[in-house]
Structure 1
Amino acid sequence: MPADVPPIPVPDVPGEDAGAGGLPRRVDLTLRQRLIVDSSAVADLALRTSIASLLSATMVPSLAQALHKSASRTEQEHLRFYAELAAAKDPELSFPAPQDLPRVSSRPANPVAEWVAHGNVRNIRFDSSFRAVNPALRDQCAGFVRNNVVHAQHWRHDDGPRPTLCLIHGFMGSAYLFNGLFFSLPWFYRSGYDVMLYTLPFHGRRAEKYSPFSGHGYFAHGMAGFAEAMAQAVHDFRSLLDYLEFTGVDRIALTGMSLGGYTSALIASVDDRIQAVIPNVPVVTPDRTVDEWFPANKVVALRDWIARTDTELVDTATMYSSPLNYRPIPAKDRRLIIAGLGDRLAPPEQAELLWKHWDRCAFHWFPGNHVLHVSQPDYLRRMTRFLAPFMFD
């Protein structure tokens, strides 16, 4: 069974489970909690502005495209395509399952990874079988050569297979070492789990040549490009599930942070092999979130004004990849959401939207921000108690 206390060097300022009404009001917090929430929120605003500036640069080419009527018409056609899929609310139609078992190649990870895990760590890769959901974009998506090779890191016990905890990283945060340490994965590994770290499309080694940063491709191809990136994220992860199932794994839990939380919540609405799901500081309506991200919000507004974009159509189309558009498959007692009250990159209101959609399932908050999880030992203990009945019966 998992250990009681994770050996990680962060302050253990406890959060709590949300009440029947959701997240606490500011007046309900202790003075110490309010100080942590306020100070961490200020730090998050600075980080958010930096990331939003990067995104603004990424979206500049779309401004030029908006000036061309033919490009604007094409984008409107793409939006109508995803809006129709979203309106059907059918995950099987929106996210078709892979048809073939992936041909996986595996090699030992670097010595640092094995030292961190204190165990057997392999880097795996395979060719993606994904085809763009939108037929009009299949040639474009097929041309992303590096992105169409799937990468993951597998921490596996020699006497495996074991119950497996899968982790999906956040936007721009694909480094295995960072995620292994940030999420205390050595602790989970020593507690008996195998661990799988999955690399999202356009991140890490999947970033296309000359990409200015990891994750650039997610937002570099307009709303349609983002929709297809999410579709590929789901598809390739399901191929990874096929591989785990083939190797004998029969219990899989899924967690993810930020964009990874968004993706994990979506996958839990698509694939029934997920025993338990824990979105951590998730975004569930990226379009609303970007509205608050200066200066990226100004670039988006200018692009939409130039192209005379139908905002209602955009709102409908963006629901295509939102977990709010589909019903979760794991039972209510197998869903846990984690949110930071000081988070200004993925505001806690985003997690609360998912909580309401997920029938007010287990919901834990901590008084930190998007990257400073000051009560991480507390919520890791919460995760341990939550997972144990499903993963170690």
Structure 2
Amino acid sequence: MFSALADHACARFDRVMRHGLRRVLMQRNELDRLARAEHERRLEAVGRYTDPAVLAEPDRMLAPPDAPPRLAPLSVRRLADGRATHFTFASPYRPRDPDYAREYAGYDRVDTVHLHAWQHDRPAPASILLAHGWCVGHRRLHEIEFSISTLYRDLGLDVYFYVQPYHSARKPTSARFSGELFPSTDLVRTNEAFIQTAQDVRAAITAILRHSPAPLGMMGSSLGGYTSALIASIDPRLSFVVPIMAPASFAYLLWDHGEGDPFRRQAEALGMTRERFHQSWALHSPLSYAPKVPWERRLVVTARGDALVTDAHADLLWEHWQRPRRFRFAGGHFLQLGRRDYIRELGRFLAGLDIIPEVR
């Protein structure tokens, strides 16, 4: 009874936050200034990302660089049995769209990747790469969200935390807040930023596996869960994947929550439909690909009271992935009351795969 009431309360809080986030997103709605002809030109530009040949072979755009990145330690602090290091490296990404290339050149900070690492002195049985959600990205916040001390100490993992483009330390000075520019209603920028994300993350994977050949998995929440599902769909080097509260399609998510709001009315007036919107972002949707991570090494995590990434949106990914192991925790998208429960489930999951010893 209490659990159901808590989930209901968290869902109500999610709806309030969802309304606030959409209002913030609409303040920079790129559709406001687009005429139908310009919108159609943008859709033609999006065609480079949705070409069937690209979707059949996504490494044409999402491939990592051949050489591992040169990690530069920005800060290092000793731990009892290891060290915590804040690394940076140059993003390997280069814009594909010439108009966006000029826009991108005007943003500072985005071309530097920030990767936080908690590494044991002795070889760890496995490593995990974490990705955060929209509008956040500060290391200390996500140390709490992901219980990084538990991952490092109790599960014995080497832990890595990736900062998404346009967020936190990668937020351009021209942006009002972390994540304002990505994801956004700009079809081209969102595609380009996911290309950058994929290339950055895959470069980080190369660096991590160079440091330790132990199994490496990826876990992320919300936008980070979507990112984790994308990388698991295109990179066979991941040994396991745990998307948390992840939509299967960002286009479906924005569209479905936009019923009756100005953005959707403007989009519909310009000839956009739900499926056309999804197709415009098909390059980075996990629904476009068969996952590279084996079925038994996929764990989908959802919140019972999530009113942002609802069961309808999360189920699309779970069904597309052929209904792998799934875990529901108490709470909502923002108030994750049972987040420690999914960390315990992660321990059971990895122990069951013989990746780590059984955890008490």
TM-score by length of 1: 0.83
Amino acid at match of 1:186: S
3-state SS, counterpart of residue 152 of structure 1 = strand
Q: How does 1:93-172 map to 2 (within 5 A)?
A: 93-109=60-76, 120-134=83-97, 137-160=100-123, 163-172=126-135
Gap regions ≥5 residues in structure 2: none
Name the CA distance, whole Å, in 2 between partners of 1:229 and 1:358. Answer: 25
Moved over 4 A (4+): 133-136
Name the CA distance, whole Å, in 1 between partners of 2:175 and 2:128. Answer: 30
Tell me the percent identity: 27
Q: Which residue of 1 aligns with 2:246?
A: 282
Alignment counterpart, residue 160 of structure 2, candidates 191, 196, 209: 196
Deviations 1:239-279 (A, max 9, x none): 11111122234321110000000000000011111110000
In 2, are the aligned partners of 1:49 and 1:293 still within 8 Å (CA)?
no
Q: How does 1:254-333 map to 2 (within 5 A)?
A: 254-293=218-257, 298-309=261-272, 312-333=275-296
**1:47 aligned onto 2:11:** no
Name the CA distance, whole Å, in 1 between partners of 2:247 and 2:264. Answer: 20
In 1, are the aligned partners of 2:93 and 2:196 still within 8 Å (CA)?
yes
Deviations 1:349-384 (A, max 9, x none): 222111111111001112310022222332222110
Amino acid at match of 2:192: E
Amino acid at match of 2:143: G
In 1, are the aligned partners of 2:81 and 2:121 still within 8 Å (CA)?
no
Cα offset, 1:134, TM superposition = 4.4
Name the CA distance, whole Å, in 2 between partners of 1:165 and 1:390. Answer: 15
What's the C-alpha RMSD, in Å, of the aligned pairs? 2.4
In 1, are the aligned partners of 2:63 and 2:199 still within 8 Å (CA)?
yes
Deviations 1:310-347 (A, max 9, x none): 66433322222100110111111100000112101111
Name the CA distance, whole Å, in 1 between partners of 2:330 and 2:43. Answer: 41
Q: How many residues align?
A: 355
Amino acid at match of 1:39: A
Q: Which residue of 1 aligns with 2:57?
A: 90
Cα offset, 1:118, TM superposition = 8.2
CA shift in 2, pair 1:379/1:161, >3 Å: closer
TM-score by length of 2: 0.90
Amino acid at match of 2:110: N
Alignment counterpart, residue 300 of structure 2, candidates 337, 344, 353: 337
In 2, are the aligned partners of 1:147 and 1:208 still within 8 Å (CA)?
yes
Q: How does 1:46-85 map to 2 (within 5 A)?
A: 46-59=16-29, 61-64=30-33, 66-67=34-35, 69=37, 71-85=38-52
In 1, are the aligned partners of 2:55 and 2:288 still within 8 Å (CA)?
no
**Higher relative contact order, structure no. (Cα contacts within 8 Å, ≥ 6 residues apart):** 1
Gap regions ≥5 residues in structure 1: 1-30
Name the CA distance, whole Å, in 1 between partners of 2:10 and 2:274. Answer: 33
